Chain A
Amino acid sequence: MSIKTILLHVNDERRVAGLIDAAAHVATRYESHLTGLYVMPPVPTLGATSLGASLIKSGLAQFRAEAKRVQMAFEDACKGRPFVAEWRLADARHQGVAETVMEHGRAADLIIAGQRDKSFDFTHLLDVPERLAIESGRPVLIVPWAGRFASFGKRVTVAWNGRREAARAVFDALPLLKAADNVRIIWVNPQKDQVKAGDLPTAEIASTLARHGVRCEAASTVASDIRVGDALLSGLTDDGSDLLVMGAYGHSRLREFVFGGATRHILDHMTVPVLMSH
């Protein structure tokens, strides 16, 4: 299967170039239909005073102007590329930005979003990539806010722990894994004993992937005192991996999400694009 429909969430004009780089890399390989989406934030419910109304009006006007600039940047960056590009402007109405992106992403093979830039203090965008990873039902490729990724996925690290979310992520990533030169499947073993190669818990998933023609190797990492997230990140550097595939762990509590420690750590400190699924 290939990635034929991609939804790219672009709400920040400073990120357009970086996000298009990454999206174009995937869209070019699979001749996908790439949809760029800007979401007008939900209208804040202020009191019905004329002051409130004019603040809202000017705020919306600013977002509308940004949307136009993002659209132009998107269309410029896609000109002459070997894939179909579609632009969409949506309104969050009374739901959040994340919900709106998800609606548009339900029929996509892949959603691409930018890692949250913590210095960017627009609350309406606060939790978008993580909520997409957990709630959208589609795989989400999160692009780090630092760095440019016009090409990635030559050497892939897959974080495997035998759980449901890891299974989701691995099979969602299959088109990308098949395109890689090498896929390293690691089981981050929080104990101090080494595991014999034949007993590797990653052996079975490696066999399944090999049947799909994925060039993969089963490995394990011992993370005695360092946390799983740290172990994953340093492993990426050691291996020269340029893409990480992992399950997104978390659950909702009321309307907030509680993320697993490793998921949270990667979301905050990722150095390469990360494909997450739940």
Chain B
Amino acid sequence: MTYKTILLHLHDIGRADRLLQAAIPLARDMNAHLTALAVVPPYIVVPGDSGASVTIDEHRDVYRGDMVKLKQMFTETTAGQPLKAEWREADAGFFTVANIICDHGRCADLIIASQSDPKWVSSSLIEDPVHVAMDSGRPVVLIPNAGSTSLVPKRVTIAWNGRREAARAVFDAMPLLTAAKDVNVVWINPEKEQYLAGDLPAAEICAALARHGIKAQASQASATGSDFGPELLRQAKVFGSDLLVMGCYGHSRLREFILGGATRHVLGHMGLPVLLAH
């Protein structure tokens, strides 16, 4: 299977080049329909001086100006390319941008978005890759703010711990695994943790991958709780990975998602594209 419909969240003029550099070759390779989506950020409602609330929307007008530029960048880089490109705009209104990305993304094989950048002035209003990974029901590939942008990976590291999120990620990543030359399944052995469902050996998932024609090797690393994230990134680097595939661990609490420590670390320090699934 390949990805036939890809949704790209284009959000920041400063990083649009990187996102397009990642998305276009992948869409071309897979002969996919590439939809770029820009979303007007939501209204901000704050308490006013006299007690009534005030709805702020100037930032939305400013962003609409940015969207013109984003559309231009998308149209120019996809012109003449052998792929179907579609531009879309949406408005978060009183919802969140992530809600809108999910709505559109649920009909796509794959969602591509950016690693978030807390230093970007619009970050808190526009970026929430975790929410998209947790709620879209689709795999999400995040492009790092610095580092490799290639989504035609030759070497892939899979973080495996036998849990349902890892299974989701592996099977969601299949088209990318099939195209890669080498796949390394890393089982991080948790010391001090109970012998739980994560005792499923990586050998079994390697056998399952082999039946899909994917040559994967199994390896094991050791880490204690807070070192999982750094160890994972280290393993990916040592293997020379172009892509890291991992489950997105967390749970929802009221309207937010609380992330697991390893996921949080990887999302904060990734230097390569990461495919997340939940």
Contacts and interface: CB of A to CB of B under 8 A. Distances in A.
Nearest to B108: A208
Interface residues of B, number: 33
B138 A162 contact: no
A39 to B, nearest CB: 14
B166 to A, nearest CB: 8
Contact of A208 (B1, B109, B135, B167): B109
B103 A211 contact: no
Interface stretch (A102-110, A237-245, A263-271): A102-110
A171 B109 contact: yes
Contacts of B258: none
Interface in A196-221: 204-205, 207-208, 211-212
Contact of A164 (B4, B136, B167): B136
B165 interface: yes
Contacts of B162: 103, 106
B1 A4 contact: no
Given A136-B164, A162-B106, A205-B107, A106 B205 contact: yes
A205 B1 CA distance: 17
A4 to B, nearest CB: 4
Given A99-B197, A211-B33, A107 B205 contact: yes
Contacts of A207: 5, 107
A102 B197 contact: yes
Nearest to B204: A107
Interface string A105-136: 01111000000000000000000000000011
Interface string B107-143: 1110000000000000000000000000111100000
B197 A103 contact: yes
A33 interface: yes
B109 A164 contact: no
A56 interface: no
B278 to A, nearest CB: 9
B164 A106 contact: yes
B208 A4 contact: yes
Interface in B171-186: 171, 174-175
Contacts of A205: 106-107
The residue in B107, B168, B171 that gathers the most chain A C-beta atoms within 10 A of its C-beta is B107
Interface in B196-229: 197, 200, 204-205, 207-208, 211-212
Nearest to A168: B137
Nearest to A169: B137
A233 interface: no
Contact of B165 (A102, A103, A137, A171): A137
Interface string A157-185: 00000111111100100110000000000
Interface string A1-39: 110110000000000000000000000000011000000
Contacts of A155: none
Nearest to A5: B208
A167 B107 contact: yes
A103 B211 CA distance: 19
A104 to B, nearest CB: 8
A107 to B, nearest CB: 4
The residue in A103, A109, A135, A207 that gathers the most chain B C-beta atoms within 10 A of its C-beta is A103
29 contacts: A1-B174, A1-B212, A4-B212, A103-B200, A106-B163, A106-B164, A106-B167, A106-B200, A107-B208, A108-B208, A135-B164, A137-B163, A138-B164, A162-B103, A163-B137, A164-B102, A164-B135, A164-B136, A167-B107, A167-B136, A171-B109, A171-B137, A205-B107, A207-B5, A208-B4, A208-B5, A208-B108, A212-B1, A212-B4
Interface of B: 1, 4-5, 32-33, 102-103, 106-109, 135-138, 162-168, 171, 174-175, 197, 200, 204-205, 207-208, 211-212
